[in-house]
């Protein structure tokens, strides 16, 4: 029994010692409700639209409305980069340098407390997570440098094309076109697929087109390469079409165009042609000795065009070749077959056939006053300036005999006879001067001084014996002998012009205002030796071609070339020149033109 008690006591002790430790098992349980499974959130980016464009350092401004919940963190993520924000509103920056160019997604993971107050809530182990995504496009590559190319549409218009820009930061193409040094095109194309432009206004001329690609980047663009070319534009050309007409034509433009041919400085504007088809027209010639300017405007067919596209070609057309300035007068030496005239203060010698200058010599006070005359029996030539008379032996124009006159007076008539006399009309006087001793051998005052075509109203026979002066009031013939000038005939007919035949002093040609008769009279007794009907009234005798014998007459509208031997009108030519001459089938005008009428005379 004692043994059992001992064993029982031992077990009791051991059990008591092992099982009597103070128990820590009281609880503090909070009976709170679980938070709802979902919660509304309003997450927005104030700086972003549907797609956030990151083409430069971009500020991303956010604003969260958690409807009362405390934000633990808002984590923005894109391409492995994160921005952690802790407030309801704020901003951060996205840099395209940190992103691969292209489209991607910016993801926001917003963590908030649940607000339940639970242990997990308090320990950040219980959250609401709101996820929102935005499409992001980023690119900060510099703009490409592109070069446009040109082609032609099926309608024939100029088409400019350029490579498409595939960059995400594309903003717009800027096309700039400079035509004829005028900026005529400046257009922007905001669609990257719009990579061509039809310039229906370009019709030719120097052109520079450039396309700049503008991008949304810090350095917004690089200048494109120029496409530079020049398509020939229409140019005026002239072609004689008969005696009285000229054909004006031009090359057709490469691109559709409208052609407008006008005469400039006319009011109202004279338009000779306005067409999209025709490239030529025939118009009346301006006549010998004058010119007409023409403007050819090549215009775009598109009505809404910039004036900078317009091409203008201006040219003048004249019948003959202009070769002298300042209203030159002429003389012809039939022995040397050269023509004398002046250019400013230079007496000049030309080959009338080629109009090549053979010699030139300066003479003081010659400009605007120069008159020239050649005898029929020598190579001499005499020139009259406003202060001297110069007599040269030949076309070398050396060592002239100089006869001084009272200075400052421009002569109206000047003639060198075959026997070395000089006839000159100045200051209302007719004078004859002998070259050999430079003496004035005769002089008389002209009481009825010519007013109209005065240059054609004086004439002296080739030996100086006779002089004739005609006006609308009548005609006078003087005989000059032994220093005396005696009027041997006068009448009151209405004369237009008078001229002695240079090779026959007994032939005096006379024309009239009121008829078309050319009378040939003997100055000795004023007997009528011939009467020739002219093609028109009021004809003024210009000269007789020393080589052909044809007489040149003018009524200041038309020139007439008459073969007096038949008699026959050889040529009628429009001209308003004041003092034309005919030498060796070449016409010379006071306006400085020459014109070869050989072919016309042969017709």
Tell me which residues touch other proteins (CB under 8 A): 6, 9-10, 12-14, 16-18, 20-22, 24-32, 34, 116-123, 125-126
| Joined tokens for residue 67 | 């409807």
Least separation, in Å, of the C-beta of 118 and other proteins?
Answer: 4
Least separation, in Å, of the C-beta of 21 and other proteins?
Answer: 5
| Joined tokens for residue 557 | 């509208």
Q: Are the CB atoms for 478 and 468 separated by under 8 Å?
A: yes
Longest dimension (CA), the chain: 211
Least separation, in Å, of the C-beta of 87 and other proteins?
Answer: 22
Distances (CA, A) of 70 to 39, 67, 111, 124, 319: 12, 9, 9, 11, 101
CB nearer other proteins, residue 117 or residue 536: 117
CB nearer other proteins, residue 123 or residue 277: 123
Residue with tokens 């107050």: 117
| Joined tokens for residue 193 | 């697929």
SS (H, E, C) 71-100: EEEEEEEECCEEEEECCCEEEEEECHHHCC
CB nearer other proteins, residue 12 or residue 103: 12
Least separation, in Å, of the C-beta of 130 and other proteins?
Answer: 20
Least separation, in Å, of the C-beta of 115 and other proteins?
Answer: 13
CB nearer other proteins, residue 119 or residue 440: 119
CB nearer other proteins, residue 31 or residue 525: 31
CB nearer other proteins, residue 34 or residue 154: 34
Least separation, in Å, of the C-beta of 121 and other proteins?
Answer: 7
Which residues is 199 bridged to in the sheet?
A: 158
| Cβ-defined contacts of 507-516 (< 8 Å, 24+) | 508/459, 508/466, 508/468, 508/477, 509/541, 509/551, 510/468, 510/470, 510/475, 511/538, 511/539, 511/540, 511/541, 511/553, 512/537, 512/538, 513/472, 513/537, 513/538
CB nearer other proteins, residue 123 or residue 566: 123
Q: How many angstroms separate the CA atoms of 128 and 112, rounded?
A: 5
Distance from chain centroid for Cα 147: 28
| Joined tokens for residue 144 | 């490409």
CB nearer other proteins, residue 30 or residue 603: 30
Least separation, in Å, of the C-beta of 217 and other proteins?
Answer: 49
Q: Are the CB atoms for 561 and 476 separated by under 8 Å?
A: no
**Cα three-residue angle 265-324-546, rounded to 5 degrees:** 120
DSSP 535: S
Q: Which of 441, 488, 444 is nearest to 463 (CA)?
A: 441
Give the pairing type, strands 170-179 and 182-189. antiparallel
Least separation, in Å, of the C-beta of 7 and other proteins?
Answer: 9
CB nearer other proteins, residue 125 or residue 303: 125
Least separation, in Å, of the C-beta of 84 and other proteins?
Answer: 23
CB nearer other proteins, residue 7 or residue 409: 7
Q: Are the CB atoms for 283 and 214 separated by under 8 Å?
A: no
Q: DSSP assignment of 478-524, as one string?
A: EEEETTEEEEEEE----EEEEEEETTEEEEEEEEESSS-EEEEEETT
CB nearer other proteins, residue 37 or residue 566: 37
CB nearer other proteins, residue 70 or residue 269: 70
Q: How many angstroms separate the CA atoms of 344 and 326, rounded?
A: 7
Least separation, in Å, of the C-beta of 116 and other proteins?
Answer: 8
Least separation, in Å, of the C-beta of 129 and other proteins?
Answer: 16
Q: Which of 73, 84, 63, 71 is nearest to 113 (CA)?
A: 71
Q: How many angstroms separate the CA atoms of 153 and 254, rounded?
A: 12
Least separation, in Å, of the C-beta of 170 and other proteins?
Answer: 51
State phi, psi for 95 to the nearest 5 degrees. -115, 130
State phi, psi for 8 to the nearest 5 degrees. -65, -45
Residue count (the chain): 603
């Amino acid at each position: 029994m004692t043994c059992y008690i001992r064993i029982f006591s031992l077990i009791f002790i051991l059990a008591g010692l092992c099982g009597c430790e103070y128990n820590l098992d009281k609880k503090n349980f909070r009976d709170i409700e679980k938070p709802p499974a979902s919660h509304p959130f309003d997450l927005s980016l104030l700086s972003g639209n549907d797609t956030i464009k990151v083409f430069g350092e971009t500020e991303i401004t956010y604003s969260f409305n958690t409807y009362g919940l405390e934000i633990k963190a808002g984590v923005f993520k894109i391409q492995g980069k994160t921005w952690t924000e802790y407030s309801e509103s704020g901003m951060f920056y996205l840099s395209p340098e940190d992103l691969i160019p292209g489209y991607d997604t910016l993801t926001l993971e917003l963590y908030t407390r649940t607000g339940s107050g639970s242990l997990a809530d308090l320990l950040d182990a219980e959250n609401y997570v709101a996820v929102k995504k935005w499409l992001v496009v980023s690119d900060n590559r510099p703009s490409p440098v592109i070069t446009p190319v040109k082609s032609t549409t099926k309608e024939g218009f100029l088409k400019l094309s350029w490579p498409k820009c595939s960059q995400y930061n594309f903003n717009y193409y800027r096309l700039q076109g400079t035509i004829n040094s005028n900026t005529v095109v400046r257009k922007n194309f905001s669609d990257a697929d719009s990579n061509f432009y039809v310039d229906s206004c370009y019709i030719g001329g120097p052109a520079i087109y450039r396309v700049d690609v503008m991008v949304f980047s810090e350095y917004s663009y690089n200048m494109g390469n120029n496409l530079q070319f020049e398509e020939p534009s229409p140019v005026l050309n002239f072609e004689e079409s008969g005696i009285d007409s000229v054909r004006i034509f031009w090359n057709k433009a490469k691109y559709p165009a409208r052609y407008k041919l006008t005469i400039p400085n006319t009011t109202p504007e004279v338009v000779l042609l306005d067409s999209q088809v025709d490239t030529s027209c025939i118009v009346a010639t301006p006549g010998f000795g004058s010119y007409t300017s023409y403007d050819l405007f090549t215009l775009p067919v598109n009505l809404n065009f910039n004036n900078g596209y317009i091409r203008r070609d201006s040219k003048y057309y004249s019948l003959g070749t202009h070769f002298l300035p300042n209203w030159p007068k002429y003389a012809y030496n039939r022995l040397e077959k050269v023509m004398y005239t002046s250019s400013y203060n230079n007496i000049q010698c030309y080959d009338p056939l080629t109009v090549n200058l053979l010699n030139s010599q300066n003479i003081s006070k010659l400009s605007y006053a120069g008159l020239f005359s050649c005898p029929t029996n020598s190579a001499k030539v005499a020139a009259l300036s406003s202060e001297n008379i110069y007599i040269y032996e030949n076309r070398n124009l050396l060592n002239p005999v100089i006869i001084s006159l009272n200075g400052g007076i421009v002569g109206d008539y000047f003639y060198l006879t075959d026997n070395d006399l000089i006839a000159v009309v100045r200051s209302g006087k007719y004078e004859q001067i002998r070259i050999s001793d430079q003496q004035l051998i005769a002089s008389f005052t002209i009481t009825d001084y010519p007013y109209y075509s005065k240059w054609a109203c004086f004439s002296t026979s080739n030996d100086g014996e006779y002089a004739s002066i005609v006006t609308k009031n009548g005609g006078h013939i003087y005989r000059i002998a032994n220093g005396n000038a005696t009027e041997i005939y006068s009448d009151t007919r209405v004369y237009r012009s008078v001229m002695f035949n240079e090779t026959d002093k007994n032939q005096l040609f006379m024309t009239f205002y009121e008829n078309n008769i050319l009378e040939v009279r003997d100055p000795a007794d004023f007997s009528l030796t011939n009467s020739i009907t002219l093609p028109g009234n009021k004809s003024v005798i210009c000269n007789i071609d020393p080589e052909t014998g044809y007489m040149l007459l003018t009524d200041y509208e038309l020139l007439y070339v008459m073969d007096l031997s038949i008699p026959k009108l050889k040529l009628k030519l429009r001209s308003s020149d004041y003092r034309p001459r005919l030498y060796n089938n070449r016409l010379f005008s006071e306006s400085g033109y020459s014109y070869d009428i050989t072919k016309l005379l042969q017709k």
